[in-house]
Amino acid sequence: MTKASVVDQSAPAYAPKRLLAEARAASKVNIEQVFAFLEGSPEKAALTNELLAEFAADPAITQGPEYYDLTKAEQREQTVKKIARLALYLENDIKLARKQHHKDVVRDLQSPDAPMVTMSDMERFEKRSTLVALIDPQLATRLGVNLSLFGNAVRGNGTDEQIKYWLQERGLIFVKGIYGCFAMTELGHGSNVANLQTRATYDPASDSFVIQTPDLVATKWWIGGAAHSATHSTVYARLIVEGKDYGVKVFVVPLRNPKTMELLAGISIGDIGSKMGRDGIDNGWIQFNNVRIPREYMLSRFTKVIPGNPPKVEMEPLLDSISGYAALLSGRVSMVLDSYRFGARFSTIATRYAFGRQQFGDPTNETQLIEYPLHQFRVLPQLAIIYMMAPGAMKLMDTYNSCLGELYGAGDDKKKLTTVSARMKDLFVESASLKATCTWLTSTLIDELRQTCGGHGYSSYNGFGKAYNDWVVQCTWEGDNNVLCLTSGKSLLKKFAGIVRGKKVTICDTSMDYLRMDYIQKVVMGGTKKVSNLSTLPDYYQIWSVILVKYLKRCAETVRDNNDPESVSKLLVSIAKFHAFYSMLQEFHRKLASDQSHVGDAATKEVLWKVYKLSSLYFIDKFSGEFQQLKVMSPDQMTNVQEQMLAILPEIKTHAIRLTDAFHLPDAVINSSIGNYDGDIYHNYFNDVTRVAAKDKAPGVPPYADMLVNFLARGDQFDNLNISETSFKNLGK
Amino acid sequence: MTKASVVDQSAPAYAPKRLLAEARAASKVNIEQVFAFLEGSPEKAALTNELLAEFAADPAITQGPEYYDLTKAEQREQTVKKIARLALYLENDIKLARKQHHKDVVRDLQSPDAPMVTMSDMERFEKRSTLVALIDPQLATRLGVNLSLFGNAVRGNGTDEQIKYWLQERGLIFVKGIYGCFAMTELGHGSNVANLQTRATYDPASDSFVIQTPDLVATKWWIGGAAHSATHSTVYARLIVEGKDYGVKVFVVPLRNPKTMELLAGISIGDIGSKMGRDGIDNGWIQFNNVRIPREYMLSRFTKVIPGNPPKVEMEPLLDSISGYAALLSGRVSMVLDSYRFGARFSTIATRYAFGRQQFGDPTNETQLIEYPLHQFRVLPQLAIIYMMAPGAMKLMDTYNSCLGELYGAGDDKKKLTTVSARMKDLFVESASLKATCTWLTSTLIDELRQTCGGHGYSSYNGFGKAYNDWVVQCTWEGDNNVLCLTSGKSLLKKFAGIVRGKKVTICDTSMDYLRMDYIQKVVMGGTKKVSNLSTLPDYYQIWSVILVKYLKRCAETVRDNNDPESVSKLLVSIAKFHAFYSMLQEFHRKLASDQSHVGDAATKEVLWKVYKLSSLYFIDKFSGEFQQLKVMSPDQMTNVQEQMLAILPEIKTHAIRLTDAFHLPDAVINSSIGNYDGDIYHNYFNDVTRVAAKDKAPGVPPYADMLVNFLARGDQFDNLNISETSFKNLGK
């Protein structure tokens, strides 16, 4: 009863396919224009398409349903295979950038005399990396630990010579020669980096450092790549010189011999073992026992130890802290982009299922799930959220790249560095609130959309399970979401309080444009009341700045009275979220309203405006308590918001399939039996399930059949052999 | 650097242990009284303790951290081993009930002349089963499919002779002789049972049924036990007699020969494969190809086929539907109890971690997480929710058992059956709203508490990952939560509309006592206004009946105007949740205020009243939008609610460790490295991680080292061997 055996296209199993085709025919949304809008331009969209197509065609990267059946050991091994393969893509991408296909470009770049690798050399591979995160998050992380974490730790803290040496000559950014890990977190310290306990004590006699783990809680913990793959580590340790503690600095410490992968002397490493997700990453713990490294292995752009008697320490604390920001920001910025891409994948699956699946109603032609208002409410706002995240994610990435350019372009020019420091601080607030909000949103999205697929959402082959398990760590790592919200909420509050007290407060990002004295006064005086009627398109984002000002005012007053910022921490978490909504909706509006929206078709643009409205309405309703409590909206206005929202749903429904098609995700990338483009839910699902079970040698008979037979055999003989004629007759009474 | 190597008790690694000891000393809450309150009585608490201790001492059941490292194949096999072991506990429990230890009581009970097994024979094992669900959910389900699903399908639909034969003579309820599965769901139909497509066509010539899967979408899907273990199945199929379709009935269909586990003729079975969680269950799909079973294998309590020419069909539709209710209810009722027990486990872990973990503040003695107001808000309401669920879960279980007693006691007495039918219908509403609400709450609890444990929450050995994956299917199976909320919301709305129109409406459960004309009028006339000030203890539950009446009124008006109940479906989901809060808080209040609270110590009772208040306040705040929109509370009252809630948190904090100790969960049952009673977080965690990694033959060197060496070897030689003296000097500049 497989695909080929049912040739009658009117059989129930073919209904979903037909329903999806009908849905596509019913909408005229121009999906190429929408794709260009989401990705930033037709050129960027084309590149996304091209790279996704390469991966979709490469079974070494996109593995099909078997991917969901791998054991931990298999995941670890296959991830390395994939990294080896990506290293080849990487070399190819650099050759393409340098237009040199006739020689070993990478080997040339490793020579000490070679020019520095440029941003444009790596651009194509960096885009590729963000797409790897969509297909196989653990692969992206395991490679990212080397390229981004080790790489950025060196870039942020090393001298030019050190950067060139470690990243280029040694081959790290080519995934060649050495493999790096990032040893920051310890068993007892995560968020509080300043209190890490690993020590790097300078020994003047040998001009070297002794790296030491002083006690159990100082064990480096969770270190991705440490258990199996890293040959080198950037170790965050306290610099101790002549008994004085200079705080946490970064050191390159070799861990393994790359020729054998044997651990070096003094290095104790263990496997962290199983995790909720991402078992393809070899997280490990490291203890250092009198490990010696040369002084030159300390990354010393901002802090230097000068040998001598006594030795001296030169520090530049301000620049040190900026570089610290920069290293952390890369991950956060990427996670906002990941939220959009990953969310798009699961939104596509659930939307297709909602159109293909029928339930209740006319027994011979049951109602499509998407026709139920409740189901529309469960599925369509999640789709709108993806659309809300995309422009914000692209903007954040651009801001980050321009900041980074400024930072690295500044060289040692302290004035330029001070200027970029202010931009970095705002970017820190912005990226913290967006990272936390978007990773939470995508986490909820995966969970809620899985539920909309009923029992089938629970099958591994439909993708939600592993996706959720892989995803949720994004809410914790590189800044716990609650801690990030608190930090960015506090920064916004501080700016607000400063402005109100008439201080000069620097605002670099347009997303903070509500932090102006005149605007604050306007809100407080009630001059923004008509925004609450949502009568113009900008109102849908501006209303979030109204509630932000009112909320910040309330917090500022509380803290002024009780002098305890912790007392408003619950509110600050909401403020960080609201700021993210404001920022994303503002950019959604700006981009769609601009000449560069790339959406020429008026009807298509109209649909996108509805999506824009829905994403704002959905969150106003979700936070209706705050909107009423802060008197931004009255109960009646809230009723109106809810009516508007419910009225938009059926309008978006008509275009929902095309709005997910517009993500342009190939089936091999989506990797979900019920989520394929053709909508042939039941055949695809059945075929995938039987495909992965094909290795089963005796279908239906378990490998441990003896065990079952033995313990059941305490009982009766097989059917009917033992039953008395009377008993049997009684059964039929 | 393991446990034994640190003997200095002032070392940082020992701080958590000391902090937990201090927290225990700081509270005088009587945990035995609290335990008795939660479990219902000191006797019940003692039995819970006794059975948990048996399991904690049995390494065949509680496996330690290795449990989290099992592959799917290992989980499948070990679950069967555990079932074989539980079968021995079961025999022992029956012997204990019958006070007969000198002979094979079960063999005697299998004789056709033996008396029926009684409720009290099974009581101890049933309690045991609910505790198995806490330790190893997949084990409980895989056994429950046989005992409860197959068992209840036969009990609900079989004649007395059939019940006796299948469950007792054949040994099913003794987990002996045969093993049952429950083949209801199909690939294309889940919630809509009435439209299942599998057919059972009566063949008068041979007086037998032909069971047939007509097409792919009618494939039985998700059937727990089908892939490996079931010898028999209760199959839900359309009864077709002489071409007429009599709707879905239940048939016992043999699947495998219990002596070999080979599939029988006409039975096609495949493995469903990997799932998000519960991989220890062998879910499978089944297709029937001309499978013949004797007429006697149709379960025919309410529908009989009478052989003859032509054959006749006798039906009792009303009774048929009651029995349908009863079979479904058992699972739902259990899931409310599971929510309490499972939630208690994870609340214990997170609370202990919150006291033992220190972060930020004084670098030499950092602040305990629990001291942060935001952390209190993240952890303590979750603990309160567990306390809110316990009394409601116990009440629901009692109501269910008494209903079931009435149903089975009624025999064929139709009057009694009609009476019990009304009770069953209310119980259906009650259990649907509680099942959905509580399983969602526990799902959120596991997720949010995992996040409070930071990165360590993501380690498999701390339990959250598998727990979440195992848990969330509870939100989908045996009634999708949204569908259940919609159904129970609609029933409440129907009752409400009936009462308002002056119809006679039967209300059986005290949780629906707000559905009275006088009370509705009082709410509408504003006679309940002072409840909103929360000035007395009952106000904390009664406020939920105020909002329920107002919400139902709004829905009733909308539907009266637009005649479309689907238009209020989003609101009905909230109504179902609010009803669950009302029901649980009402019972929490009733029980704690009664003479049978078992809490004699006044100070302890005082703490429990605070927990009661917190659980109500937490949800009022969470649904503050609805409370303001329906004008149950003004914005200022809402501010007051939030202030009250934040003020209670530090008061409960003082007792939080004892409030989790009161659950009496042994370490082996909790099975979380950071969640042990002694609070020795870092040693326990490190020891567990190294224990599971001990099988690693070459620590630090991956099994696939060659692969890494090969692809990295495109690169450089090992450290420093190749570097020029000049390059090396440059590094140190």
* Residue A701 falls inside a structural domain: yes
Q: What is the pLDDT of residue A4?
A: 46
Beta strands, E only, A196-316: 199-203, 208-212, 220-223, 232-241, 244-254, 267-271, 284-288, 291-294, 303-306, 312-315
Nearest to A177 among B162, B174, B716 (CB): B716
Which runs of consecutive H residues, i.e. helices, occur in A176-233? none
Nearest to A334 by CA among A61, A142, A519, A144: A144
Q: Quick one: A507 and A595 in the same domain?
A: yes
Q: What is the pLDDT of residue B699?
A: 81
CA separation for the pair B191, A456 (Å, rounded): 12
Question: Where does a domain end: A296, A316, A336?
Answer: A316
**Three-state DSSP string of A274-294:** CECCCCCCCCEEEEECCEEEE
pLDDT bracket for residue B473 (50, 70, 90): very high
Q: Over pLDDT 70: what percentage of chain B?
A: 97
- Do the Cβ atoms of B650 and B370 come closer than 8 Å? no
Q: What is the pLDDT of residue A318?
A: 72
Q: Quick one: A479 and A525 in the same domain?
A: yes
Residue B323, pLDDT above cutoff 80 = no
Nearest to B187 among A624, A682, A701 (CB): A682
CA separation for the pair B445, B349 (Å, rounded): 12
Residue of B nearest to A674 (CA): B187
Q: Quick one: A357 and A252 in the same domain?
A: no
Contacts of B711 in chain A (CB under 8 A): 83-84, 87, 175-176
* Residue A54 CA, distance from chain mean position: 22
CA separation for the pair B71, B59 (Å, rounded): 19
Q: Quick one: A659 and A727 in the same domain?
A: yes
Mean pLDDT of all residues belonging to chain B: 94
- Torsion, CA A329, CA A330, CA A333, CA A337, rounded to 10: -170
Nearest to A170 among B273, B486, B716 (CB): B716
List the domain range (segments joined by +) for residue A268.
180-316
**Three-state DSSP string of A422-441:** HHHHHHHHHHHHHHHHHHHH
CATH number of the domain residue B605 falls in:
1.20.140.10
Q: What is the pLDDT of residue A3?
A: 47
Q: What is the DSSP letter of A565?
A: G
Two tokens, residue B56:
């904690």
Nearest to A81 among B12, B366, B707 (CB): B707
- Do the Cβ atoms of A345 and A334 come closer than 8 Å? no
Q: Quick one: A669 and A543 in the same domain?
A: yes
Q: What is the pLDDT of residue B549?
A: 98
Largest Cα–Cα separation, chain A: 105
Q: Is the peptide bond before B373 cis (omega within 30 degrees of 0)?
A: no
* Residue B477 falls inside a structural domain: yes
Two tokens, residue B7:
């003997």
Cβ contact, residue pair A458, B475, below 8 Å: no
Contacts of B84 in chain A (CB under 8 A): 707, 711
CA of A35, closest CA in chain B: separation in Å? Answer: 31
- Torsion, CA A296, CA A301, CA A302, CA A303, rounded to 10: 0
Q: Quick one: B387 and B398 in the same domain?
A: yes
Q: Give the bridge partners for A248, in sequence order.
A: A238
CA separation for the pair A677, A666 (Å, rounded): 8
State yes or no: is B478 an active-site residue. yes
* Residue B118 CA, distance from chain mean position: 25
CA separation for the pair A322, A581 (Å, rounded): 27
Cβ contact, residue pair A682, B216, below 8 Å: yes
Nearest to B429 by CA among B506, B512, B496: B512
The residues near B276 (Cβ < 8 Å, ≥ 6 apart) are A450, A458, A459, A460, A464, A465, A466, A468, A469, B469, B472, B473
B670-707 confidence digits (pLDDT tens): 999 999 999 999 999 999 999 999 887 778 888 999 98
Q: What is the pLDDT of residue A723?
A: 67
CA separation for the pair B142, B230 (Å, rounded): 10
Q: Pick the catalytic residue from B39, B91, B478, B626.
A: B478
Q: Quick one: A605 and A682 in the same domain?
A: yes
How many CB atoms sit inside 10 A of residue A257's CB? 15
The residues near A600 (Cβ < 8 Å, ≥ 6 apart) are A30, A33
How many CB atoms sit inside 10 A of residue B724's CB? 9
Contacts of A700 in chain B (CB under 8 A): 227-228, 256, 261-263, 267, 269-270, 284
CA of B196, closest CA in chain A: separation in Å? Answer: 10
Based on the structure, what is the number of domains in chain B? 2
pLDDT bracket for residue B722 (50, 70, 90): low
Average pLDDT (B201-225) is: 97
B63-89 confidence digits (pLDDT tens): 999 999 999 999 999 999 999 999 999
CA separation for the pair B406, B416 (Å, rounded): 8
For β-strands B180-183 and B232-241, DSSP reports them as parallel
Two tokens, residue B435:
């099942």
Cβ contact, residue pair B216, A728, below 8 Å: no
Cα separation values, A508 from A511, A543, A728, Å: 9, 21, 85
Which runs of consecutive H residues, i.e. helices, occur in A594-623? 602-622
CA of A449, closest CA in chain B: separation in Å? Answer: 12
B350-366 confidence digits (pLDDT tens): 999 999 999 999 999 99
Question: Where does a domain end: A316, A333, A361?
Answer: A316
> Residues A201, A203, A207, A210: is their CA dihedral positive or negative?
negative
* Residue A402 falls inside a structural domain: yes
Q: Quick one: A290 and A280 in the same domain?
A: yes
Cβ contact, residue pair A457, B469, below 8 Å: no
CA of A602, closest CA in chain B: separation in Å? Answer: 30
Contacts of A703 in chain B (CB under 8 A): 73, 77
| H or E, element range at A90 | helix A72-98
Q: What is the pTM of this model?
A: 0.96
Cβ contact, residue pair B628, A631, below 8 Å: no
* Residue B162 falls inside a structural domain: no
Residue to test with chain B: of A374, A671, A683, A726, most B Cβ within 10 A: A374
CA of A261, closest CA in chain B: separation in Å? Answer: 6
Average pLDDT (B259-284) is: 96
Cβ contact, residue pair B176, A714, below 8 Å: yes
Q: What is the pLDDT of residue A716?
A: 44
CA of A455, closest CA in chain B: separation in Å? Answer: 6
* Residue A4 falls inside a structural domain: no
Cβ contact, residue pair B638, A625, below 8 Å: yes
CA of B578, closest CA in chain A: separation in Å? Answer: 16
Residue of B nearest to A358 (CA): B188
What's the number of CA atoms in the CB half-sphere (13 Å) around residue B230? 35
Q: What is the DSSP letter of B166?
A: I
Contacts of B221 in chain A (CB under 8 A): 455
* Residue A554 falls inside a structural domain: yes
Q: Quick one: A240 and A344 in the same domain?
A: no
CA separation for the pair A236, B634 (Å, rounded): 52
Contacts of B6 in chain A (CB under 8 A): 215-216
Nearest to B716 among A171, A450, A569 (CB): A171
> Residues B247, B250, B255, B257: is their CA dihedral positive or negative?
negative
Q: Quick one: B289 and B378 in the same domain?
A: no
Q: What is the pLDDT of residue A718?
A: 42
Two tokens, residue B526:
């504003």
Contacts of B363 in chain A (CB under 8 A): 194-195
Q: Quick one: A489 and A504 in the same domain?
A: yes
Contacts of B263 in chain A (CB under 8 A): 699-701
* Residue A129 falls inside a structural domain: no
**Three-state DSSP string of B326-355:** HHHHHHHHHHHHHHHHHHHHHHHHHHHHHH
Cβ contact, residue pair A713, B258, below 8 Å: yes
Nearest to B660 by CA among B351, B343, B340: B351
Q: What is the pLDDT of residue B723?
A: 66
Nearest to B708 among A261, A374, A686 (CB): A261
Cβ contact, residue pair B12, A625, below 8 Å: no
Cβ contact, residue pair A716, B68, below 8 Å: no
* Residue A716 falls inside a structural domain: yes
Contacts of B295 in chain A (CB under 8 A): 732
Residue of A nearest to B722 (CA): A170
Q: What is the pLDDT of residue A421?
A: 86
Residue to test with chain B: of A232, A274, A490, most B Cβ within 10 A: A274
Residue to test with chain A: of B113, B215, B554, most A Cβ within 10 A: B215
Q: Which of A685-699, A708-722, B314-328, B521-535 has the lowest mean pLDDT?
A: A708-722
pLDDT bracket for residue B418 (50, 70, 90): confident
Q: Is the peptide bond before A310 cis (omega within 30 degrees of 0)?
A: yes
Cβ contact, residue pair A700, B256, below 8 Å: yes
B597-621 confidence digits (pLDDT tens): 999 999 999 999 999 999 999 999 9
Cβ contact, residue pair A569, B260, below 8 Å: no
Nearest to B373 among A76, A567, A690 (CB): A567
Contacts of B707 in chain A (CB under 8 A): 77, 80-81, 84
Contacts of B476 in chain A (CB under 8 A): 451, 454-455, 457-458
Residues of A tagged active-site: 478
Q: Quick one: B246 and B395 in the same domain?
A: no
Nearest-5° Cα angle at B122, A733 to B661? 150
CATH number of the domain residue A197 falls in:
2.40.110.10
Question: Where does a domain end: A286, A316, A346?
Answer: A316
CA separation for the pair B231, A490 (Å, rounded): 63
Regions in chain A scoring below 50 on pLDDT: 3-4, 716-718, 720-721
Interface A-B, measured as beta-carbon pairs within 8 A, has a size of 494
